[in-house]
Amino acid sequence: MTRFAEPIFLGGLSHSGKTQLRLALDEIPTLSFTRRTQLWDRILQRFGDLGDEGNLGRCLEAMGAISGVGALEPDLEALRIEFSAGPPTYERLICLFHQQVAERRGKIRWGDQTKSIERYGSIILEAFPYARMIHMVRDPRRLRDVRSRTTPRLRAALGSDTARWIASMEAARANRARFGSRYLVIRYEDLVADTEGTVRTVCGFIDEDVPESARDVISSIRFQSVGDSDSMSQSAARWDEGRPRSDDRFVTMHAADLLAEHGYRTAYGKMSLSESARFAVTWPARRASMAAWRSLDKRTRPS
């Protein structure tokens, strides 16, 4: 078995620390890391039986049209020839693409950073028995600065954001229960508080040494200036200034068990009369936003 059989998948929602962690992992000399290829979202099971030359051709054409794939300049004809010599599965085609990129870079192992890849956790980890998946998580009340929600539509979007975070955490729960030691959840807040220690934990998980060059990269990694760790009390206090408690209460009410499961606080102070009024006014639109996202997710969720 070669190390190409041990891919690494790095997932999680936007602003959860995926890029910062990948920058450190990029220093591993044997590892080729890609990002935003969107192959699982854009091609998986979309073109029928890939044993059919016409279906395969359409699939390869669609792959080449994805900006994150096209930027890597794959040899699609070589990929077609190699793919035709084995089982015609989508998972194998995606693997061969990443392997081709890695070989061109002189690497012996590949990884991919894709937002919300945890949604495909069961599919991926079943298809690649030696794969590892890293899931970055962050307190949903700090994923986006709620003070930027200046319109009714943006304020209502807290509902869909909350539903998205809950779905991501439910995927983490299911994947960890099913795949155990092959699935690692890393908190963004821990990456901020101890970047080098967290990178060492991840490297141990993927059976790689931390290269000396990674230390310089780690020291140069930058995070948001406030609100990045509950252990940083002054920073957290500055972040919380002006944050509507009604917004945080909405998230906490719907995700308390998952917040607690990942070590996030679930207790907030009593709302003022104005905050209570804001909570009541925004509740219907936010609940509708949650329901709309879940309905769309149900139709597009990987099976």
pTM: 0.91
Q: Confidence band (pLDDT; 50, 70, 90) for 155? A: confident
The total domain count for the chain is: 1
Name the band, by pLDDT with cuts 50, 70 and 90, for residue 231: very low
Residue 42 resides in a domain = no
For residues 76 and 63, what is the distance between their CA atoms, to the nearest angstrom?
A: 9
pLDDT digits over 103-132, tens only?
A: 999 999 999 999 999 999 999 999 999 999
Q: Is residue 163 part of a domain?
A: yes
Rounded alpha-carbon distances, angstroms, from residue 23 to 19, 135, 211: 6, 15, 13
CATH number at residue 164: 3.40.50.300
Q: Are 4 and 108 in contact (CB under 8 A)?
A: yes
Residue 48 within a domain: no
In the Cβ-directed half-sphere of 29, how many Cα atoms lie within 13 Å? 4
Q: With a cut of 50, say whether residue 26 has pLDDT above it.
A: yes
Distance CA 12, CA 132 (A): 14
Q: Which domain holds residue 161?
A: 3-30+108-300
Which residue type occupies 121?
G
User: 43, exposed or middle or buried, with CB in 10 Å at 0-12, 13-18, 19+?
Assistant: buried
- pLDDT > 80? residue 97: yes
Q: Tokens 């080729």 appear where?
A: 32
